[in-house]
């Protein structure tokens, strides 16, 4: 019983010493991310909706890019070579 308590204490101490996991980013890397600004695309004469997929089977979407006439575009995920253009049209 005593050995189980000691082992549990050592495990707890080890987990606390390691933190919540992952490696802390270096100061230079974190500073670069803090000051990064990506320009947002403004949609003018074209509207479109594109879905990006993980592979040629087009079953697992991994990204999306959407643009509507005279509005700011939005996107999430990642772009790949496997895409489907849901719609595309010229603005009036």
Q: What is the DSSP secondary structure assignment for residue 25, as one 8-state letter?
A: P
**Interatomic CA distance for residues 76 and 64, integer angstroms:** 6
Token pair, residue 46, equals 């074209």
Report the predicted TM-score, pTM, of the whole model to 2 decimal places: 0.56
**Interatomic CA distance for residues 48 and 65, integer angstroms:** 8
Q: How many domains does the structure of the chain reveal?
A: 1
**Interatomic CA distance for residues 92 and 85, integer angstroms:** 20
Q: What is the DSSP secondary structure assignment for residue 73, as one 8-state letter?
A: -
Full pLDDT tens readout for the chain, 92 residues = 555 555 555 555 555 555 555 556 565 655 555 555 566 788 888 899 999 999 999 999 999 999 999 998 988 899 999 999 999 999 98
Which helix (H) or strand (E) covers residue 8, if one does?
helix 2-18
> Which domain does 43 fall in, by range?
2-90
């Amino acid at each position: 019983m005593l050995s189980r308590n000691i082992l549990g204490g050592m495990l707890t101490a080890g987990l606390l010493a390691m933190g919540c996991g992952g490696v802390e980013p270096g100061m230079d890397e974190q500073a670069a991310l803090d000051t990064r600004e990506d320009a947002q695309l403004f949609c003018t004469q074209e509207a479109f909706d594109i879905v990006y997929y993980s592979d040629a089977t087009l079953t697992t979407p991994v990204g999306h890019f959407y643009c509507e006439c005279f509005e700011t575009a939005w996107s999430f995920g990642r772009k790949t070579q496997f895409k489907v253009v849901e719609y595309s049209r010229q603005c009036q």
